[in-house]
Structure 1
Amino acid sequence: MYPLGMNAGAYYWHEASHALAGPMRAMTEATRVMLREPSNPLSHSIWAKNLTAACDMFERLTRRYGKPSFGLDRTVVGGEVVSVHEKVVWERPFCRLIHFERSVTRAKGVSPKLLIVAPMSGHYATLLRGTVEAFLPHHEVYITDWSDARMVPLSEGAFDLDDYIDYIISMLHSLGGGVHVMGVCQPSVPVIAAVARMDAANDPYTPRSMTLMGGPIDTRQSPTAVNLLAEERGIEWFERNCIVTVPLNYPGFMRRVYPGFLQLTGFMAMNFDRHTSAYQHYYNDLVKGDGDSAEKHREFYDEYLAVMDLTAEFYLQTVDKVFVKHALPRGEFMHRDKLVDLKAIRRCALMTVEGEKDDISGVGQTKAAQDLCSNIPDDMRVHYLQMGVGHYGVFNGSRFRSEIAPRIADFINTNEQRAIRESGVIPVKPRGLKAVKLETA
């Protein structure tokens, strides 16, 4: 371990650079307002349009992006538009569980409870806004809203991978059983570990199904640049180079974290040419006055550039166990003092989803769960490979909405009906839900 505060300077330099950019940001904003004033005879000149676009670019590249909102205030249930309200139904220092409560006034058939475990990998849970929206019409949707570690006082204690698994188990208990859980990307590992621990203990709150999407279950399969970097550098390199301490101006002062600004640098570097091209197009759209295209760029990057800090202990444990030691597929993954045995999963159905062009979790990494969970009956397991999509497309976008989400909904409904039949209650098919043929594992 490195002394507390050893890397604090990096965070202070980051904060200082943002403060130093303040006067220049004020000047560019004043220039932009002046040049956009209709009464200014220069406002329609090509010179003014280029300078205004440059000012806009500078402002966006130097601003601090706050936590976005979900903004999901309505959905359609059984052909009726209903309002949606966010309600916090469970809370701990490092996470809140949000229920998207639909104002349904009459029975609409079965609405399975769906717990979406969002990634704790830098971005906020709002990155899954499209995922939530797709399932709202036919499900009672809950999502994990992870806390920014720099905003959690040091007095609240640590948060590591074991705590993450404990949180998931506690959430499943709080929802009262009959839940279907979905792990998107990074949470696939703690989700499957939590289910294994629950099923091994014959826990009555074991989920009815789990869907793992683009997750690093076995990163030895089709290793990506991210996987290879972790194996090459080792955990000591990450602790030495990626961990800093939170500065004085945040509630989490002195907490050791993997900061959002370092994560964002890595995100951008992985696809530098694509981001550069996107900003070039944005600049040209501003000059041409193409407001629709410019707004689409702003919407995407307002979300993409909003990042949060992760606790050092959680980040380092994840790198070590998942990417360096491959503890889960080797049968060596521990939760607290207990071995996580994936063969103990018998009652929870399993669906794995991958993207053909995923450059974060390569093809085969998530599907590996199918072989590891060998005691799940064949009629309770499904694997689906979506052609033509990358990592983001596994849980968002047009192909997710039209091809992936309906398959997941059908998988959930099938296992919801199975559980209802086994309980002796007459099943009711949700209105408006179309059956989709599923590929088997």
Structure 2
Amino acid sequence: MLYQIYETNRAWLSPFSEFASAASKLYSNPLSPFAHIPASQRVSAGFDLAHRLTKEYEKPEFDINKVNVHGVDVVIQEQVVEAKPFCRLLRFKRFTDDAAMLARMREQPSVLVVAPLSGHHSTLLRDTVRTLLQDHKVYITDWIDARMVSLDEGAFHLDDYINYVQEFIRKVGPEVHVISVCQPTVPVLAAISLMASRGEPTPLTMTMMGGPIDARKSPTSVNNLAMNKSFEWFENNVIYKVPQNYPGAGRAVYPGFLQHTGFVAMNPDRHATSHYDYFLDLIRGDDDSAEAHRQFYDEYNAVLDMPAEYYLDTIRTVFQEFSLVNGTWEVRNPQGKKELVRPQDIKTTALLTVEGELDDISGSGQTKAAHELCTSIPKTRQKHYDVIGAGHYGIFSGRRWREQAYPVIRDFILSHNKVKKAA
């Protein structure tokens, strides 16, 4: 019922949002007589803010059209490599007429970025992808909003997520380097563990960034909610059916609007201050600061619904039973057989863990715990790095990502890429 109420409210607000947008332009366009009355900038700014607080935010585009690779501008084409009901595997194909650069790019490592399925779209990792493209062939998982997936496609469990990751690793090839950001660190470690246990080729490296490998360590408010509420509480309070106006009508989901409410509730004062600063920037005519605000919130406010069974599996497995670290996690493969997840079976894949010093979503030590589980990886092929001064988003986006985290990841991948090829 809550989902239907939300949709009704959104429909009611939509005309007001459009009116606010038009009114803002009416009081700011220099050709409009209203733009020359006293306090017109303040009125325009107020309507603009009202528009942004009430509008619907669609999934953003990656919008990566070109990137500079060692001094050469390279054209980027976004390609769908594999399309599955709940996810697309994208490649950002690089093109150039510079023969020397083309030959150089062909020798660069392939990287599979496993994006989170935890509320935001994979475009949240736009800066991650853009930076990686300087030195790598880049693929990324683009998870599909569950409300857009027909019930005919069946359920999507955490086990299915793991099976998807394994398929994508095989698709890219045995010399791939895998980077998982936040939520997928756990299923990615499971996927690679299962491949190792079966004797399959595993990725050259796996980089785990800000994820809850062991959520018992330095628990945050996010962890505490998942650990202190019963499993039944989540079933009864956050799971709703998709309304009839979407292709996935009737599918049980954890709605994006509830997740967004939770995101904002973690730092309400910060968001209120940010919106007020945006209002002041509009009045002052500080277009650069105003545009930076728009770009951030266009991404931050665009959320997706998660399949209920996947979300509940994650709550139980990762945050309540701690199945990975307790060695009790069994995953159902595509043939329906259950296999025990054994990280200790990984031997040839090098491991890098990255944490943010100020991360308030995945606490200190949670990601680093992967080293305690992967006991068969030689210590010379393991590394941990703390990004000083970075919060959760800072480890994969922004200045600290580009200047601190990325050079470490790039050098780690390159060094183990060479080791593997020489072997």
Query: If the TM-score is normalised by the length of the shorter chain, which range does it land in?
Result: over 0.9
SS at match of 1:183: strand
2:14 touches 2:55 (CA, 8 Å); kept in 1? no
CA distance in 1, matches of 2:328, 2:136: 35
Give 1:369's aligned residue. Answer: 370
Instruction: Identify which of 202, 217, 226 aligns with 2:222.
Output: 226
Any stretches of 5+ residues in structure 1 without a counterpart? 1-8, 423-441
Instruction: Identify which of 35, 40, 44 aligns with 1:48.
Output: 40
Shift of 1:80: 1.7
Q: Please tell me the residue identity of whatever aligns with 1:85.
A: Q
Q: Please tell me the residue identity of whatever aligns with 1:409.
A: R
Q: Please tell me the residue identity of whatever aligns with 1:218.
A: D
Shift of 1:40: 4.3
CA distance in 2, matches of 1:216, 1:35: 48
Instruction: Identify which of 172, 179, 191 aligns with 2:176.
Output: 179
2:387 touches 2:395 (CA, 8 Å); kept in 1? yes
Runs of 4+ in 1 over 4 A off after TM superposition: 39-42
CA distance in 2, matches of 1:46, 1:387: 47
Shift of 1:53: 1.0
2:20 touches 2:47 (CA, 8 Å); kept in 1? yes
Instruction: Identify which of 270, 274, 281 aligns with 1:274.
Output: 270
1:77 touches 1:108 (CA, 8 Å); kept in 2? no
Shift of 1:38: 2.3
Give 1:99's aligned residue. Answer: 91
CA 1:184/1:36 → structure 2, altered by over 3 Å: closer, same or farther?
same
Shift of 1:77: 2.8
Shift of 1:30: 3.6
Aligned ranges for residues 414-429 of structure 1 at < 5 Å? 414-422=415-423
Instruction: Identify which of 243, 250, 266 aligns with 1:247.
Output: 243
Shift of 1:34: 2.5
Shift of 1:44: 3.7
Is 1:27 matched up with 2:2? no
SS at match of 2:50: helix
1:257 touches 1:312 (CA, 8 Å); kept in 2? yes
1:243 touches 1:312 (CA, 8 Å); kept in 2? yes
CA 1:27/1:140 → structure 2, altered by over 3 Å: closer, same or farther?
closer
Shift of 1:11: 1.1
CA distance in 1, matches of 2:242, 2:28: 39
Give 1:385's aligned residue. Answer: 386
Structure 1 residues 255-301: Cα deviation after superposition (integer angstroms, max 9, x where no partner): 00001000000000001000000001001111111111111100100
Give 2:139's aligned residue. Answer: 142
2:26 touches 2:34 (CA, 8 Å); kept in 1? no
Give 2:126's aligned residue. Answer: 129
Stretch moving more, 137-146 or 325-334: 325-334
Is 1:158 matched up with 2:159? no
Is 1:395 matched up with 2:392? no
Give 1:115's aligned residue. Answer: 112
Q: Please tell me the residue identity of whatever aligns with 2:312.
A: L
Stretch moving more, 153-162 or 33-42: 33-42
Give 1:264's aligned residue. Answer: 260
SS at match of 1:107: helix
CA distance in 2, matches of 1:250, 1:41: 42
SS at match of 1:143: strand
Structure 1 residues 380-419: Cα deviation after superposition (integer angstroms, max 9, x where no partner): 1000011111000011110110111011011001111011
Stretch moving more, 352-361 or 229-238: 229-238
CA 1:115/1:287 → structure 2, altered by over 3 Å: closer, same or farther?
same
Structure 1 residues 158-212: Cα deviation after superposition (integer angstroms, max 9, x where no partner): 11100000000011111121110011000000000001000111102x1111000
Give 1:190's aligned residue. Answer: 187
Q: Please tell me the residue identity of whatever aligns with 2:164.
A: Y
Q: Please tell me the residue identity of whatever aligns with 2:295.
A: E
CA distance in 2, matches of 1:408, 1:199: 23
Instruction: Identify which of 64, 75, 82 aligns with 1:72.
Output: 64
Shift of 1:240: 0.7
Stretch moving more, 359-368 or 25-34: 25-34
Q: Please tell me the residue identity of whatever aligns with 1:308.
A: L
Give 1:310's aligned residue. Answer: 306
SS at match of 1:55: helix
Structure 1 residues 128-167: Cα deviation after superposition (integer angstroms, max 9, x where no partner): 0000111101111000000000000000011110000000
Instruction: Identify which of 209, 213, 216 aligns with 2:212.
Output: 216
CA 1:95/1:28 → structure 2, altered by over 3 Å: closer, same or farther?
same
SS at match of 1:21: helix
SS at match of 2:316: helix
Is 1:409 matched up with 2:407? no
Shift of 1:347: 1.1
Shift of 1:371: 0.8
CA distance in 2, matches of 1:367, 1:101: 32
Instruction: Identify which of 10, 13, 31 aligns with 1:18.
Output: 10
CA distance in 1, matches of 2:331, 2:30: 63
Q: Please tell me the residue identity of whatever aligns with 2:76.
A: V
CA distance in 2, matches of 1:150, 1:135: 31
State the TM-score, normalized to the length of structure 2: 0.95
SS at match of 1:122: coil
CA distance in 2, matches of 1:40, 1:178: 60
CA distance in 2, matches of 1:33, 1:244: 38
CA distance in 1, matches of 2:68, 2:374: 36
Stretch moving more, 350-359 or 337-346: 337-346
